[in-house]
Amino acid sequence: MKTIIKSTIALLTVLIAFTSCNNTTKSDRESGALASNVAEKVYVAPGEHDEFYAFISGGYSGNLTVYGLPSGRMFKEIPVFSQFPTSGYGYSEETKPMLNTSHGFIPWGDSHHPDISQTNGEIDGRFIFINENNTPRIAKIDLKTFETTEIIEVPNSAGNHSSSFVTENTEYVVAGTRFSVPIPQRDMPIKDYKGNFQGALSFISVAPETGNMDIKFQVLMPGFNYDLSHPGRGKSHGWFFFTTYNTEEASTLLEVNASQNDKDFIAAVNWKKIEEYVNNGGGTMMPADYAHNVYDEHTHTATSTMIKEVRVVNPIDVPGAVYFLPTPKSPHGCDVDPSGEYIVGNGKLSANLTVHSFTKMLDAIENEKFAGEAYGIPILNFEDVLAGVVEQPGLGPLHTEFDGKGNAYTTFFISSEVVKWKLGTWEVVDRQPTFYSVGHLTIPGGNSGKPQGKYMFAMNKITKDRYLPTGPELEHSAQLYDISGDKMELLLDFPTHGEPHYAAAMRADLIKERSQKIYNLEDNKHPYAAFTDDDTKVVRKGNEVHIYMTTIRSHFSPDNIEGVKVGDKVYFHVTNLEQDFDVPHGFAVLGQNTSELLIMPGQTKSSVWEPTKVGVWPFYCTDFCSALHQEMQGYIRVSPADSNTPIKWSLGEDIE
């Protein structure tokens, strides 16, 4: 108790010291001349493009948002793990399978850590991966179309948090479990957690050409909480590092019970070694049940396949594959510098920031200098692997990124600031306040061998008074800093959508050039597509009615439909015949129990309507597509269930 009081007083003293420090900085910044200079730095003239893309996770929105830097303008919200009525994602027949899981259809997700694909340790801008925390899944977004094209469920995992970081050549996207669970899941008392629960670290291979994901193996680790992770790079390529907390293995009141050990671990996993073991037939196939959902851009349709087994590896069976590096205290971020030498453990309850040395780690392993073991996994000596300590840099370190010029930038949640320090000398060179309580930060190219260190942005957890008030619920706020000089300079506040946990950013040029404008109609292989106005038809199969419909400025074909009856299941299969950039058409029918469809040029999307009322119901285009958009409408007649109204359809003439 005494120690708690003592440390609280110590904390408060430091807090007050930092607060007063922040105040001076803040008042300095408010001088007029400086402010106008800053405005120029974030001003992107009308029609000009930003220099960087930022992909910011939506947290509990389940999605991923796309921003431009330095302007802080939002360009798109990409639906990933949540239904998105704006486009019909997760509502249309084609995209419902994307949200299928072993627990059935799940309309919502909690997206966390986007990471961009890499080649030779450099960001290549082909794909972006993002994890879903709640029902463990990893998604892949194709940066040609900015659409989610693949989602794989991660079995044996719970709280998919130390994810979805990619290795140097995108060999793997890695997904670690935050909550350990019984593996396989079974009915057992919660109090028997310790020694019985396990944590799975999943290595999902990514096919070099297509990017197709496949769970290559899962390492079944002791029942700690695996919080964040990063790949080794350069000299440490082939290793992966995971921070852990709750090495106490508590199952209740974790805020206290998981904060008792002075040191938790960073788990160092030699995945190359395990890969070789697996390639030689190592590991065991374990019964499992997980969904693999793939969107085909030619059929414009997703399919969901249930997979029934997964390869698991017991780390003890692969000597030399896994080691524990003691790290104070409940570390959150686990960050590897561009050279691959330094592994930063952001001990969120520690007063100091711990940096491990990869070279020293190898040396300690070679000389078998072990301090002990945990569940058969060797623990190295803290002092043997320590590269250095940043002394008392702030309170509550969470995450560190690098500028490629020998500097590191760490966020401090409790003291609400970003601290810049030097790799090697471990001295603090600058600190800037954040408003307020920063979580993660991003430097373009941050998780790569070549960061593009011009800007850094901090994603704050608390917004309070930064913008015009909008009632109790506020968007979160990000802050952009210029880091090109010796000192960081705050440039801009911009609101973010959902709760950004993390972001990935990169120079715009690579992605911009490849960004697709339309879908080629010639490549459309959708089974219900219609390719001309004359191609359209209405087909009854029992009580299912399939309407093969087209849209082009400014009409639907057909736009008069009869013969549908109450109790029918009506499928509107709408093909947008446009082949011009940025001419989508929308579709909605009165009384539809689902979202609209927003159909891009060359695309086919389907919506199901189960009419419950007799009448003549209008449908219309929901996107202001053209000068005659208001006229883009039609009618569908719904007759009583026992009627004999024949199926008929037309465009431009009265139905006989």
207 lies in the binding site for another protein (CB under 8 A): no
Binding positions for another protein, 524-553, rule CB under 8 A: 552-553
579 lies in the binding site for another protein (CB under 8 A): yes
255 lies in the binding site for another protein (CB under 8 A): no
Residue 567 vs 652, nearer CB to another protein: 652
Which segment (32-40, 272-280, 366-374, 572-580) binds another protein by CB under 8 A? 572-580
CB atoms within 10 A of CB 632: 24
653 lies in the binding site for another protein (CB under 8 A): no
| H, E, C per residue of 511-577 | HHHHCCCCCCHHHCCCCCCCCCHHHCEEEEECCEEEEEEEEECCEEECCEEEEEECCCEEEEEEEEC
- H or E stretch at 615: strand 615-620
Residue 47 vs 104, nearer CB to another protein: 47
- Token representation of residue 175: 């997904």
What minimum distance in Å lies between the beta carbon of 580 and another protein? 5
516 lies in the binding site for another protein (CB under 8 A): no
- Asked whether 64 and 49 are in contact (CB, 8 A), the reply is no
Which segment (125-133, 558-566, 573-581, 604-612) binds another protein by CB under 8 A? 573-581
CA dihedral 456, 459, 465, 470 (to 10 degrees): 130
Which segment (138-146, 209-217, 529-537, 574-582) binds another protein by CB under 8 A? 574-582
Residue 553 vs 648, nearer CB to another protein: 553
Binding positions for another protein, 610-629, rule CB under 8 A: 627-628
48 lies in the binding site for another protein (CB under 8 A): no
Number of shown-chain residues binding another protein (CB under 8 A): 9
What minimum distance in Å lies between the beta carbon of 577 and another protein? 9
What minimum distance in Å lies between the beta carbon of 579 and another protein? 4
Residue 307 vs 518, nearer CB to another protein: 518
Residue 467 vs 581, nearer CB to another protein: 581
253 lies in the binding site for another protein (CB under 8 A): no
Residue 29 vs 553, nearer CB to another protein: 553
599 lies in the binding site for another protein (CB under 8 A): no
What minimum distance in Å lies between the beta carbon of 636 and another protein? 24
- Token representation of residue 172: 């793997």
Measured in whole angstroms, the distance separating CA 572 from the mean position of its chain's CA atoms is: 32
Determine the Cα–Cα distance for residues 375 and 544; give it in Å rounded to an integer.
58
Residue 294's SS3 state is strand
Count CA atoms within 13 Å of residue 467 on its CB side. Answer: 17
630 lies in the binding site for another protein (CB under 8 A): no
Burial of 648 (0-12, 13-18, 19+ CB in 10 A): middle
Measured in whole angstroms, the distance separating CA 290 from the mean position of its chain's CA atoms is: 19
518 lies in the binding site for another protein (CB under 8 A): yes
- H or E stretch at 101: strand 100-101
Determine the Cα–Cα distance for residues 155 and 290; give it in Å rounded to an integer.
6
580 lies in the binding site for another protein (CB under 8 A): yes
What minimum distance in Å lies between the beta carbon of 656 and another protein? 21
Map residues 405-434 to x or -, x wherever contact with another protein holds by CB under 8 A. ------------------------------
What minimum distance in Å lies between the beta carbon of 629 and another protein? 12
- Asked whether 353 and 389 are in contact (CB, 8 A), the reply is yes
Residue 631's SS3 state is helix
- Asked whether 379 and 368 are in contact (CB, 8 A), the reply is no
Determine the Cα–Cα distance for residues 15 and 11; give it in Å rounded to an integer.
6
Contacts of 634 (CB under 8 A, 6+ apart): 556, 558, 559, 560, 561, 618, 619, 620
Residue 194 vs 517, nearer CB to another protein: 517
12 lies in the binding site for another protein (CB under 8 A): no
Which segment (341-349, 424-432, 485-493, 578-586) binds another protein by CB under 8 A? 578-586
Contact positions vs another protein (CB under 8 A): 518, 552-553, 578-581, 627-628
